[in-house]
Structure 1
């Protein structure tokens, strides 16, 4: 059976899960699919095109935001859905952060965030900047989550070494110890709430001005 574009994309997603982003090469993908590397280029012009397609596939399951919900509930659901999608594959956030995709699902999420913030009352340009800032928060948080999980899984994280490094800063050491007692979900939720509180402040400032 001839190699199809969906076959290449499915194989790439499996290889990402097995080897991580660093191990995802066109040569390894061709080997996993039992084809010559040149066969991949019938469907994707280069690795960048493949990564863009993978990024779009990653976020394809992010649910729609119900337009009847308040703006902040919509923004929260979109951010949470995006984090869930990025976490669905190993190195998903790192992969997505390295792409600049203008495809249906990526554009749908961006448009929904823009609408949420303009419905809140922000001017369009400011709303667009706010949408990008929320995206950067989700990406940065999820990249850190997945990197930390990888370090733990490979045994590269040494809590004693980390504790020793912060010993000269007792306040920081205690705060980090308390912070580590929270879950990644709690940290994400706290950060998201802080972000939305900042948007609410912007709205108050804008209306007051």
Structure 2
């Protein structure tokens, strides 16, 4: 059987979903694919590139989100789709965050461009558009890393009763924080 990059990314994503980011190693991936670790390097240059490809796979559903109404609605739609994509994979937020920091995800770059365009529409100064977009993405990544960690702790029975996942409305909390950022961006552009 000839191995293709798509097969490598599929297997890596399956390992991530089944075991988490801690078990996503090149050795384990090679074992799953029944190849030597060196064979993987025909398809990805290094682990960072592999994680970037998996991040792009995770983020793929966000590509269908485009400008929706005004700039504020666009930001909310993009960020909601981003959170949903991250939550659809075990440790998705942690993996995408690492790939984002390393500049390994093409789709993350597209998300920044879309959010920068929304910031432009909001009236943000040119030099502040990308930082505004990144601030919103950092919020989504941080919130979702925390949410996924809490889910893992809760499933292990390690959270106190008042912190258990059943008592926390993460959707409401996420929407509130996002609204604070969007409202703050709107105020910032009016006083700048």
Q: Corresponding residue for 1:107?
A: 109
Question: Does the CA contact (< 8 Å) of 1:83 and 1:142 recur in 2?
Answer: yes
CA contact 1:63–1:81 (8 Å) conserved in 2: no
Larger Rg: 1
2:189 is the alignment partner of 1:197:
no
State how many pairs are aligned: 190
Contact 2:65 2:78 in 1 (8 A): yes
Q: Is the 8 A contact 2:67 2:74 kept in 1?
A: yes
1:75–1:116 CA contact under 8 A, matched in 2: yes
Task: Show the counterpart of 1:76.
Answer: 76
TM-score (norm. length: structure 1): 0.84
Superposed CA deviations along residues 135-189 of structure 1, whole A, max 9, x for unmatched, are 10000000000000011112232x16xx7xxxxxxxxxxxx89xx8441111100
Q: What TM-score comes out, normalization by structure 2 length?
A: 0.91
> Structure 1 53/63 Cα, relative in aligned 2: closer, same or farther at 3 Å?
closer
In structure 2, stretches of 5+ residues that fail to align are: none
Is 1:38 the counterpart of 2:24? The answer is: no
Aligned to 1:50: 50
Alpha-carbon deviation of 1:91?
Answer: 0.3
CA distance in 2, matches of 1:149, 1:65: 27
Residue 101 of structure 1, CA deviation: 3.1
Q: Are the counterparts in 2 of residues 110 and 131 from structure 1 also a CA contact under 8 Å?
A: yes
